[in-house]
Copies of this chain bind each other. A is one copy, B any other.
Amino acid sequence: MRGAVMHAPGDVRVEDRPDPTIIEPTDAIIRLSATCICGSDLWPYRGIEALDGATPMGHEYCGIVEEVGSAVTTIRPGQFVVGSFWASDGTCEICRAGYQSACTHRTLMGTIGTQAEYARIPLADGTLVATREVPSADLVPHHLAASDVLGTGWFAAVAAEVGPGKTVAVVGDGAVGLMGVLAARQLGAERIIAMSRHEDRQKLALDLGATDIVTERGDDGVERVMELTRGLGAHSVIEAVGTQEAMLQAIRSCRPGGHVGFVGLTHEATIGGMDLFMSLVHLHGGPAPVRRFLPQHLDLIADGTIEPGKVFDLTLPLERAADGYTAMDERRAIKTLLTV
Contact = CB atoms under 8 A, between A and B. Distances in A.
Interface of A: 93-94, 97-99, 101-102, 104, 231-232, 242, 244, 247, 255-257, 262, 265-274, 276-287
A273 B280 contact: no
Contacts of A280: 99, 101-102, 285-287
A278 B267 CA distance: 11
A20 B243 CA distance: 48
Contact of A271 (B99, B242, B256, B273): B273
A263 to B, nearest CB: 9
Contacts of A268: 273
A210 to B, nearest CB: 23
Copies in the complex: 2
Contact of A276 (B102, B267, B271): B271
Given A271-B270, A273-B269, A257 B98 contact: yes
Nearest to A256: B102
Contacts of A273: 242, 244, 247, 266-271
Given A266-B273, A273-B270, A277-B262, A94 B255 contact: yes
A334 to B, nearest CB: 23
Q: Which 8 A-B pairs have the closest CB atoms?
A: A266-B273, A102-B256, A269-B273, A280-B286, A99-B257, A271-B271, A282-B284, A283-B283
A94 B256 contact: yes
B272 A277 contact: no
16 contacts: A93-B232, A94-B232, A97-B256, A97-B257, A101-B256, A101-B280, A102-B256, A102-B280, A242-B273, A265-B277, A269-B273, A270-B270, A271-B271, A276-B285, A280-B287, A283-B283
Nearest to A232: B93
A112 to B, nearest CB: 20
A185 to B, nearest CB: 23
A274 B267 contact: yes
A234 to B, nearest CB: 13
A51 B287 CA distance: 42
Given A247-B273, A280-B287, 6 more contacts: A99-B256, A102-B257, A270-B272, A276-B283, A276-B285, A282-B284
Contacts of A98: 257
A257 B95 CA distance: 10
A266 B338 CA distance: 47
A93 B280 CA distance: 15
| Residue from A104, A255, A284 whose CB has the most chain B CB atoms within 10 Å | A284
Contact of A277 (B104, B231, B281, B287): B287
A1 B97 CA distance: 57
Contacts of A257: 94, 97-99, 102
Nearest to A280: B286
A243 to B, nearest CB: 9
A41 to B, nearest CB: 17
Contacts of A287: 277-278, 280
A214 to B, nearest CB: 21
Nearest to A235: B97
A126 to B, nearest CB: 16
